[in-house]
């Protein structure tokens, strides 16, 4: 069983990330016939941040018991979402927006993967001790 401080760190980060994502989704509601920008943006930005934080915490900074749970698992996990993306794709398919569904899925994977790649490379380019 993980300790309470770790759970509290995940909770706090998750609360902040979720508030940002939910706020965007309420401010910019999108119909199934349109590109879901709020989900797309939080997912790609969250992937970039997770790649940056996790690589830095694993390879650059001294071990910390609560930074990764707070920033990675909590903040980035709460900011990004898999389930909403899947339900959005189901709705696009139901509405027969097949090209949109395919484009959205492909663009999310490419941009998400690319964001992790770029963030990781950025952290590794900075020399240790600088």
What is the binding site for another protein (CB under 8 A)?
2, 6-7, 10-19, 21-22, 25-26, 43, 46-47, 49-51, 54, 69, 72-74, 76-87, 89-91, 93, 105, 108-109, 112-113, 115-117, 120
Under a CB-based contact definition with an 8 Å cutoff, are residues 9 and 71 in contact?
A: no
**What's the min distance (Å) between Cβ of 44 and another protein?**
9
**What's the min distance (Å) between Cβ of 95 and another protein?**
13
Show Cβ contacts of residue 117 under 8 Å, excluding neighbours closer than 6 positions: 51
Distance in angstroms (rounded) separating the CA atoms of residues 13 and 7: 10
Tokens of 55: 């690589």
**What's the min distance (Å) between Cβ of 17 and another protein?**
7
Distance in angstroms (rounded) separating the CA atoms of residues 93 and 87: 10
Measured from the CB atom, the residue of 19 and 61 that comes closer to another protein is 19
């Amino acid at each position: 069983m993980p300790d309470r401080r770790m759970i509290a760190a995940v909770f706090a980060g998750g609360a902040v990330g979720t508030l940002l994502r939910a706020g965007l989704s309420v401010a910019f509601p999108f119909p199934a016939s349109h590109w879901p920008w709020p989900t797309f943006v939080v997912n790609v930005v969250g992937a970039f941040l997770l790649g940056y934080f996790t690589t830095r915490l694993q390879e650059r900074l001294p071990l910390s018991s609560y930074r990764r749970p707070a920033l990675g698992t909590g903040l980035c996990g709460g900011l990004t979402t898999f389930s909403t993306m899947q339900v959005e794709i189901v709705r696009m398919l139901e509405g027969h927006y097949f090209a949109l569904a395919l484009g959205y899925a492909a663009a999310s994977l490419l941009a998400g993967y690319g964001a992790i790649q770029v963030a990781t490379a950025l952290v590794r380019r900075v020399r240790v001790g600088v």
